[in-house]
């Protein structure tokens, strides 16, 4: 890659970094291309040229962050409840509150709804992979029900109820989530 291409790639990453930070810090409908450009140290025209406007910027930032989350979540080994819960709670400790804000806004911002739907799919797929032994041999409605239970126990709202609303420590939150999961995984 030549220096011009490297500079363009670095500019794109700087814009995405600024966009993600801005989207997490303020209500989505208050995020402007001016603010993102200012934070990235570029012109609004550069943002538009690179991402095609606000919707394109949101989509690109969402795709990049989804990939980052997927890589982090993929560190959880299959069938190890303790390790899976630690990876999950680590993710929620870093991103739980911003994700909860995004979910609250998704009804007003169609682009957020698409990002949230992709996140729900990723979460369901993660649960299916990590807890595959608990799903093995189950079919039809029995499998769908068990997967839905796993998804619910591992959801960001469960973390919120335990960690933020009940005030449990991080470690106690991990224990509580594992205690909720273990009965579903026994005998699998």
Secondary structure letter of residue 77 according to DSSP: P
State the CATH number of the domain containing residue 12.
Answer: 1.10.357.10
Residues 93 and 10 placed together within one structural domain of the fold? no
Which residue from 70, 69, 44 is spatially nearest to 57, judged by alpha carbons? Answer: 44
The reported pTM is 0.82
Boundaries of domain holding 48: 1-60
Query: Over its length of 188 residues, how does the chain's per-residue pLDDT go in tens digits?
Result: 588 888 888 888 999 999 889 888 887 778 889 999 999 999 999 999 999 888 888 889 888 988 898 999 999 999 899 999 999 999 999 999 989 988 998 888 887 888 899 999 999 999 999 999 999 999 999 999 999 999 999 999 999 999 999 999 999 999 999 999 999 987 65
Count the domains in the chain: 2
CA trace torsion 114, 143, 92, 161 (10° rounding): 100
How far is residue 22's CA from residue 35's CA, in Å, rounded to a whole number? Answer: 8
Q: How far from chain centre, in Å, is Cα 131?
A: 19
- First and final CA of the chain: distance in angstroms? 49
168: helix, strand or coil: coil
């Amino acid at each position: 890659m030549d220096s011009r291409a490297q500079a363009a790639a670095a500019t794109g990453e700087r814009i995405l970094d600024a966009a993600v930070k801005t989207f997490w810090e303020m209500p989505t409908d208050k995020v402007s291309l001016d603010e993102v450009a200012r934070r990235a140290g570029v012109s609004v025209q550069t943002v538009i040229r690179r991402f095609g406007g606000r919707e394109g910027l949101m989509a690109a930032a969402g795709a990049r962050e989804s990939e980052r989350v997927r890589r982090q979540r993929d560190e959880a080994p299959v069938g190890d409840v303790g390790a899976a819960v630690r990876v999950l709670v680590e993710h929620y400790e870093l991103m739980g509150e911003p994700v909860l804000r995004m979910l609250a806004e998704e009804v007003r911002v169609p682009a957020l709804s698409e990002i949230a739907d992709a996140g729900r799919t990723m979460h369901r797929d993660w649960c299916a992979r990590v807890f595959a032994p608990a799903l093995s041999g189950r079919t039809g409605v029995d499998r769908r029900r068990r997967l839905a239970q796993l998804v619910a126990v591992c959801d960001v709202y469960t973390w919120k109820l335990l960690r933020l609303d009940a005030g449990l420590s991080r470690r106690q939150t991990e224990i509580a989530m594992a205690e909720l999961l273990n009965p579903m995984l026994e005998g699998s």
